[in-house]
Amino acid sequence: MNASKLKIRKTLVMAAIGAVLLALVPLVAPGYRTGLVTQVLIYALLAMSIDIMAGYAGRTSLCHGAIFGTATYVVMYFVTVAGGNVWIGCVLGVLAAMAVSLIAGLLAVRTNGVYFLLLTLALGMVVWGVCVRWTSVTGAENGLRGNVRPDWLADPSRFFYLVLVLSGLLMFAMWRFVSSPFGMSLAGIRESESRMRSLGYDTSRHLLIGFVFSGFVAGVAGALYALFNSFVSPSTVALAQSVMGLLMAILGGIGTLSGGIVGSALIVVLQNVVSSYTERWSMVLGLMFVLVMIFAPEGLIGTLRSRSGRRAARLAQTESQEGRV
């Protein structure tokens, strides 16, 4: 009991330090680099939403990019074409993302493993197909564009703080979600769905709720992305987007939640900085991915965690041998 309280305190302290460090970003690195960190936070939300399903429920989704992009499309359409209020647009965007994840969830939660992967892949492709073909609404490849950010948010640092506060709240919510009894039941389903079912859990419903919650997070990220970019095109809902989110989660460590932040920071930086020096930046990314998989198969955060876990176990052992506990 005491140990878990300590762990919670540790996590909160770490999160607080992280938040303070991030809050300093616009002061030390204004302009473009603040924009980069904003992007890191938005993609971190996407990666973490994927991690909720992949890491905790053992269901790797390949349609979260489409869920994310649905929100982006709805915000852009509502504001630039229909001329609506941006915040109502954001609410509608998140609702639309949740609707897509509800449909995808209803179809997919009864499957697992490679079938879940393929089903979500197909559903993501459907969303992409709609965005490419429904020219009159989505503008096909040309996409939708126009400034959607209200004037008081035009300043990059202000927008950054908005994203920081929102993503902080969502990350806290996700952390509470996965460490709640409900989150534990998802982990139980990951370990053995049949056992959970025989214990009386409605596993499909649990997975569906988990999926829609993760869709909600991806939707908020997508809506923020619309405000960030003032532009959306099919590449935002494409498979590559889902794969990138998943890659971020895997790099940081599946089932660690905070790994999504590290993975997102790595990939965004790589995409924007390394690519200025070499057009082979995707090769650098591939190489890094291979190295991480060989030397830190649980992802960067995952490996750090299990190392410190082993050290704690060792310490506890020596302490008990010395008879202090």
Residues near other proteins (CB under 8 A) are 10, 13-14, 17-18, 21, 25, 28-29, 31-33, 35-37, 39, 135-136, 140-143, 145-147, 229-231, 233, 235-236, 258, 262, 265-266, 269, 271-273, 275-276, 279, 281-282, 300-301, 304-305, 307-308
Nearer to other proteins, 25 or 221 (CB): 25
Q: Is residue 248 within 8 Å of residue 68, measured between CB atoms?
A: no
Closest CA to 230 of 66, 40, 32, 80: 80
Q: Is residue 38 within 8 Å of residue 221, measured between CB atoms?
A: no
Q: CB under 8 Å to 273, separation ≥6 — which residues?
A: none
Nearer to other proteins, 135 or 180 (CB): 135
Q: How far is the CB of 35 from other proteins (least distance, A)?
A: 6
User: What's the DSSP call for residue 59?
Assistant: -
Q: How far is the CB of 247 from other proteins (least distance, A)?
A: 15
Q: How many CB atoms lie within 10 A of CB 301?
A: 22
Nearer to other proteins, 103 or 304 (CB): 304
- Sign of the torsion angle spanned by Cα atoms 10, 11, 15, 16: negative
Q: How far is the CB of 116 from other proteins (least distance, A)?
A: 27
Residue with the two structure tokens 């997975």: 207
Nearer to other proteins, 158 or 195 (CB): 158
Rg, C-alpha atoms of the chain: 20
Nearer to other proteins, 15 or 95 (CB): 15
Nearer to other proteins, 29 or 107 (CB): 29
281 Rama sector, left if φ>0, alpha if ψ -120 to 50, beta otherwise:
alpha
Phi, psi angles (nearest 5°) of residue 147: -70, 125
| DSSP-assigned states of every residue in 238-257 | SHHHHHHHHHHHHHH-TT-S
Closest CA to 149 of 80, 98, 91, 95: 80
Nearer to other proteins, 18 or 188 (CB): 18
Burial class (CB within 10 angstroms; exposed 0-12, middle 13-18, buried 19+) of 151:
exposed
Q: How far is the CB of 1 from other proteins (least distance, A)?
A: 20
